[in-house]
Structure 1
Amino acid sequence: MDDVIERAAVRVGGVEIPAAAIAAEVQNHPAPDAATAWAQAAEALVIRQLLLTEADRLRIEPDERCDERGRPLLSDDARIDALLESEVSVPEATEAEARRFFDRHRERFASEALVEAEHILFSASPDDEFSYSLAVGDARMAIRAVQADPASFGELARAKSACPSKEQGGNLGQIGKGQTVAEFETALFALGEGELCPEPVRTRFGVHVIRAGRRAEGRQLPFEAVEATIRDYLEEASTRKAVAQYLSILASQTTIEGVDLPIADGPLVQ
């Protein structure tokens, strides 16, 4: 029997949401399994129906509205937007609130450290134990060669490296946190300026010889530079909380079948 037919009927205040509509909505809710995707799609349509029913009750008519990208909203979406604008009040974040948030989370508002990186890649798959062992041996030989003659790094990279950076003598430019695989990043950021990693670094791409270049430490950004961003963040968080509370009120006044809305567990309006 078709999976859609087996699902429990979903109704909001007596209005049934067709299984076909939920099935169509599933594509907008990627999930680890079909049951979870279905549940998320059903919740989204229940919330939409709750809001449209309330817009009907308050006789809210659609007007010309656009989304954050400047695209005109469809009639029902415009009515929902007008309803939330009318019924959900969110105060503006003050400078004092923004400053308190800044003081509690200063680490979020610092420019990241950057390290110039040079490397030589000996390509091998970790699944091929023999080839990977050979690559480790080649990397050790290259490390010894660079230790004996630091100026030879670029020449070795051009001759031996499997990375396109060999055309620049192995220079990858400045690297920030999160821009490369974890093993490479850990090794690179542990090095001092101009220091060669004394051991080959193993990653899924192969085996690397790594040398750090110039290092630019992260700098704390002043409050004035991030105040507007913090205020926007605080107001967005307040908006989502206020909308969730508003939905909770609507749901408590409506008979909903086939879906348990987790309104208290997190934001429900995308």
Structure 2
Amino acid sequence: MGPLLSDITVNGEVIPAATIAAEAQMHAAPKGKPGIAWRAAGRALAVRALLLQEARARGLTPQPASDGERAETEEEALIRQLLDEAVQPSAPAEEDVRATYDADPGRWRAPTLYEAAHILFPVHAGDADALAVERAKAEAALAELKRNPRDFDRLARELSACSSRDAGGRLGQIATGDTVPEFEAVLDTLAEGEIADEPVATRFGLHIIRLDARAEGAILPYDTAAQRIRAMLAKAAWARAARDLIEELADRAEVTGIDLKAA
């Protein structure tokens, strides 16, 4: 465990081991292999430091945005503004959109409908102490549910911080895109009636998730699917361009304690 407990430096800026350890709790890893979560956390924090350093080097002034429920921090705003300025990929070509559809029409369906329930243990980003407390509560509740799954309704009413607790954690019918990606990704792995094996971390906190029912949508015709495919290809192009920016920043940076080339 020795190497996992060292600080990381990015162009002389120190990211303490304690900060990395706190961040690691938000990254999944197989039991008994904490190094995977630690390295993922270290890379994420090092990349964040690189982006903030570049934003400040360009003289950007933070202009936090808000979605009505949550406002960006100044650091989040700086990173967004940097990416808006530096990452501008080309729009996908129409022939690429058509080829993507033709390669697997079954991939393009109307939204999947889910009936699901959850128990939410709230955690604010960066609050390592609260995360440890809430994770312990979530794991204790999950252990109880593994012994008696029928207790989900009762535990949701007693423990959940979501308003759905009044319905025993039931979210009603939700569709693809209605929840955050981490939540939906778990729903797609569960069989009907199954409870996820581990608490699921999202920006809202930790969730115990149960899938009650799933109805997969019908295959969409090309003209209907094309807009979704364009959006997907544009997102992939943006991600490649963002990765190229990060690789460029990493290549000219002095980084110790983590190998960003392995990210």
Q: TM-score range by the shorter chain?
A: 0.5 to 0.7
Contact 2:64 2:76 survives alignment (8 Å): no
Q: How many residues align?
A: 163
Q: Amino acid of the residue matched to residue 238 of structure 1? A: A
Question: Which residue in the other structure is 1:37 paired with?
Answer: 37
| CA positional deviation for 1:9 | 2.7
Structure 1, gaps ≥5 residues long: 113-177, 182-217, 266-270
Q: 1:234 to 1:73 in 2, by over 3 A?
A: same
Q: Amino acid of the residue matched to residue 18 of structure 2? A: A
| CA positional deviation for 1:66 | 3.8
Contact 1:90 1:239 survives alignment (8 Å): yes
Contact 2:92 2:230 survives alignment (8 Å): yes
Contact 1:95 1:227 survives alignment (8 Å): no
| CA positional deviation for 1:221 | 2.2
Question: Which residue in the other structure is 2:133 paired with?
Answer: none
Question: Which residue in the other structure is 2:86 paired with?
Answer: 87
Q: 1:232 to 1:46 in 2, by over 3 A?
A: same
Q: CA RMSD in A?
A: 3.1
Give the % identical residues: 31
Alpha-carbon distance in structure 1 between the residues aligned to 2:253 and 2:104: 40
Consecutive aligned runs of 4 or more in structure 1 exceeding 4 Å deviation? 3-6, 178-181
Question: Which residue in the other structure is 2:51 paired with?
Answer: 51
Question: Which residue in the other structure is 1:247 paired with?
Answer: 246
Alpha-carbon distance in structure 2 between the residues aligned to 1:25 and 1:179: 30
- Specify the structure having the higher radius of gyration (Cα): 1
Structure 2, gaps ≥5 residues long: 112-189, 194-216
Alpha-carbon distance in structure 2 between the residues aligned to 1:87 and 1:111: 34
Moved more, 234-243 or 100-109: 100-109
Which residues of 2 match residues 225-264 of structure 1 at below 5 A? Answer: 225-262=224-261
The normalised TM-score by structure 1 is 0.54
Question: Which residue in the other structure is 1:7 paired with?
Answer: 5
Q: Amino acid of the residue matched to residue 107 of structure 1? A: G
What SS does the aligned partner of 2:260 have? coil
Question: Which residue in the other structure is 2:64 paired with?
Answer: 64
Alpha-carbon distance in structure 2 between the residues aligned to 1:180 and 1:259: 41
| CA positional deviation for 1:110 | 5.1
Question: Which residue in the other structure is 2:135 paired with?
Answer: none
The normalised TM-score by structure 2 is 0.55
Alpha-carbon distance in structure 1 between the residues aligned to 2:86 and 2:64: 18
Question: Which residue in the other structure is 1:107 paired with?
Answer: 106
Alpha-carbon distance in structure 2 between the residues aligned to 1:221 and 1:235: 20
Question: Which residue in the other structure is 1:28 paired with?
Answer: 26
